[in-house]
Chain A
Amino acid sequence: MSTISTEEQTAMCESFARLLAEKSGEAQVRDAMETELGYDAALWTSMADMGLLGVLVDPAHGGIGGGAVLLEALLEEAGKHLLCSPFISTSVIAANLVAASDDDCLKEEILGAICTGEMIFAVAATGDKGLWTTEDIDLRAETVGDDWVVDGSASFVLHAKGAHQFLLLAQTTDGLRALVADAEQDGMALDPMQANDPALRLSRLQCSGVNARLLTGVDEADIDSALNLARIAQAAEHAGGVKRIFDITIEYLQTRHQFGRQIGSYQSLKHMAADMLVEVESAASAARHAARAWDAGADDTQTLVSLAAFAGADAYRDVTAQAIQLHGGIAYTWEHPAHLFWRRARTGLWLFGSSDQHRETYLASLENA
């Protein structure tokens, strides 16, 4: 599926890691958290310059034509550095759904602008319950003459502030469909939802008579598939983040002394560390195998995506929680980075479906007939 070589992919991940080390250190993440946008626009431009924003976009539209495996590897790096950005909404969900459309003009217009970093997408894909299921979507789209008009509301809208376009999932007489709408128009009312993770930008969206363009040729299966890709991307961020906070914790166990010895020599802490390692490695294995299955179009893609989604989210939640506990008082301070990972982990538990939902989907996918 991917048109670029393994060596090029490795090189790309390495340069992304270097960029993040330089531009997405802890201090910069804290700065980005305080901004209105919630991310560093200059870093976004650098990512565009490296071709990262078009990782999934076909070279014909200015992208690099990578697949889920490359996306996964890149987002492990992003997760390690707690990258704040509208990457998943823009370069994963919107890019994937627009590319799935048969409207060549629209693709031409949007995909190129995604690659250059000039077009940032907000994604409205769930209702007030935040279930990310078809039934949960409260936006409705209908045709008025030749045009599409969207009404209703959406919650947990990702990166609405500063977005140029909205990707809207809406109910239609033909079932669930995806549409794009200009951010700058009347009838689009945004209400920020304050998040526990200060890096996360969520909004409630109220649409009344919003003009939108239907992504023709995109059906419910394509939408499921795009959300699955977002789940792989998020699982990769989890895998990277959980590895990083784990490494930080192990280093602390080796350097912190109490009662005249390294605290990492106490079995009660060592045993926690060993159990955490199983979770850390399982999260990575699950995310990577899900990405591979996606690229191969394997029969068990849904099984592996759901597994990666809940295994990654639960591992991140549990390991970050244990990391704070193992650090003791120092990690109870705002200045210590552990809580940044902990907050990010709690974000991932709910975006694109909960672990319980993913477990249900996983089990259903394993049942014969």
Chain B
Amino acid sequence: MMALEKPDSDEQLAADVNAWLDANWDDARRCEKGADKLDVRSWLTKLLESGYAVPTWSPEWFGLGLGSKQGRIIDRILKARNVIGRSQDRYNLGAVTVYRLGSPELKQELLRDMLTGSFSCLLYSEPNAGSDLAGVRTKAEWQAGPDGGEYVITGQKVWTSNATEATYGMLLARSDWDVPKHSGITFFIFPMKQPGVEIRPINQITGESEFNEIFISEARVPARYIVGERNGGWKVLQTALAYERLIMGEGATERQGKEKGAEPPLIQLARKHGKLQDPVLRQKMAQAIAYRQLNALNMQRAKAEILANGSSSLMSLGKLAMSRIQHGEARVAADILGAASLLHGKDHPDSADMNFDSAKAYMNSIGGGSDQIQRNIISERVLGLPREFEVDRNMPFRDVKSG
């Protein structure tokens, strides 16, 4: 692979990236159809070989060995020029997991494919393992064969987005039933395109369908596709989840930044419906808007702390705060609309939006760890309070009650 020289300065780096893009990237072609249509895989291959797809990774694995600050410089340039496949060292969760935790053989076998368009979905949650993720019951049974053999997977996964597009699934499965629950889980890179994998979309309370259920029936995964150790999946998962939270947190602070200066939507809604002078509603609106602004101010402080110290415990408050913001704003919007909030459909767009938002708010307060789990995490990891006694912590998983 082509290894670029390390640049002398940030300015030099930016100039190098822009020069390379001038020669290789045509933004106009992104939207072309027909013969001129951009071949995404060959573009991603070209980007990978430049080192700009994963600039902070080592040159041995497609990177340039740059620091995170320089990685961000490249990210900003690629983002500004609408480049497909930027910052996969942060956003490509499957590839990041394999790069950080996979064996050299696994990296050799999968990384190039994963970085050139074969993306991954998450196969973590199950109907009976949501907040209690270590209670997964999808079975992984080993079968002898060449190359370490393979595992036969049977079970059900849920809340998987992009399942139909994904080539790989980051799979958490039970490989040993006779040890306590955290000790019998293995983390696999699971090939999605095979018989025995059935994908069914979930119809959500918002009317959308962003997630799927995955029914897995005697599907196969090579033993060499294990990430980390056999039965060491819980540890791998913790690292993978940390990367995921990092991405979500960054997304949240970026989104917050865009809202500054604009008149808050609740004020606009109240004016439109002649309620802007209602003193009771004004108090409610002020409080709802304040919660959003306070969270934005907390996240600004978090960003400053991360720049100064590398981390910030404030970051962990954002998701919990967001639940109160989203549920609260939807409630105030309903109060502004009054009886009209009973109505729905395209003839009542404001009510329809409010109804949608009030349902969508659960995405934050349940998804990715419910508010109650989030409060446990904050009180344990930030405040140092003790864990609550867990009945099943040291019991063989076979004997754990489920349902």
Interface, chain A (partner B; CB < 8 A): 250, 253-254, 261-262, 264-267, 270-271, 273-275, 277-278, 281-282, 284-286, 288-289, 307, 310-311, 356, 359-360, 362-363, 366-368
Contacts and interface: CB of A to CB of B under 8 A. Distances in A.
Nearest to B297: A285
Contacts of B297: 282, 285-286, 289
A57 to B, nearest CB: 29
Interface in B278-313: 279, 282-283, 285-287, 289-290, 293-295, 297-298, 300-301
A172 B295 CA distance: 43
A277 B382 contact: yes
B327 to A, nearest CB: 14
Contacts of A307: 290, 293-294
Q: Give the contact-size bracket for chain B.
A: 35 or more
A360 B385 contact: no
B387 A366 contact: no
A227 to B, nearest CB: 19
B317 A266 contact: no
Interface string B361-391: 0000000000010111011101111111100
A46 to B, nearest CB: 31
A264 B314 CA distance: 21
A278 to B, nearest CB: 5
A281 B314 contact: yes
Nearest to B374: A274
B283 A356 contact: yes
Residue with the greatest number of chain B CB neighbours at <10 A, chosen from A264, A274, A356:
A274
B22 interface: no
B283 A359 contact: yes
Contact of B385 (A264, A281, A288, A289): A264
Nearest to A249: B383
B290 A310 contact: yes
A122 to B, nearest CB: 32
A366 B301 CA distance: 22
B267 A262 contact: no
Interface in B112-162: none
Given A271-B375, A274-B375, A274-B379, A359 B287 contact: yes
A281 B317 contact: yes
Interface in B240-296: 263-264, 267, 276, 279, 282-283, 285-287, 289-290, 293-295
A356 B285 CA distance: 12
Contact of A282 (B294, B382, B386): B294
Contacts of B317: 277-278, 281
Contacts of A265: 385-389
B383 A274 contact: yes
Contacts of A281: 298, 301, 314, 317
Contacts of A267: 372, 375-376, 388
12 contacts: A264-B385, A265-B387, A266-B388, A267-B372, A273-B378, A277-B317, A285-B300, A286-B294, A311-B290, A311-B294, A360-B283, A367-B263
B320 interface: yes
A311 B386 CA distance: 29
B290 A359 contact: yes
A289 B295 CA distance: 12
Interface string B80-93: 00000000000000
Contact of A363 (B289, B300, B320, B387): B289
B321 interface: yes
Contacts of A270: 375-376, 379-380, 383, 385, 388
A284 B301 CA distance: 10
Contacts of B378: 273-274, 277
Given A286-B297, A363-B286, A274 B320 contact: yes
Nearest to B279: A360
A366 B289 contact: yes
Contacts of B384: 250, 254
B326 to A, nearest CB: 14
Given A359-B283, A359-B290, A366-B267, A288 B301 contact: yes
Contacts of B289: 362-363, 366
B372 A271 contact: yes
Contacts of A368: 263
A363 B294 contact: no
A362 B279 CA distance: 13
Query: Which of A264, A275, A285 has the most chain B CB within a 10 Å cutoff?
Result: A285
A265 B287 CA distance: 32
Contacts of B282: 359-360, 363
A285 B298 contact: yes
B386 A254 contact: yes
A330 B137 CA distance: 46
Interface string B316-347: 01001100000000000000000000000000
B371 to A, nearest CB: 9
B263 A254 contact: no
A355 to B, nearest CB: 9
B383 A289 contact: no
Given A286-B297, A288-B301, A362-B286, A273 B379 contact: yes
Contacts of B321: 278, 282
Contacts of A250: 383-385
B294 A366 contact: no
A100 to B, nearest CB: 28
A363 B300 CA distance: 22
A360 B378 CA distance: 32
A32 to B, nearest CB: 31
A278 B320 contact: yes
Contacts of A262: 385-386
Contact of B301 (A275, A285, A360): A285
B290 A289 contact: no
Nearest to A290: B297
A368 B265 CA distance: 11
B115 to A, nearest CB: 38
Contacts of B386: 254, 261-262, 264-265
Nearest to A285: B297
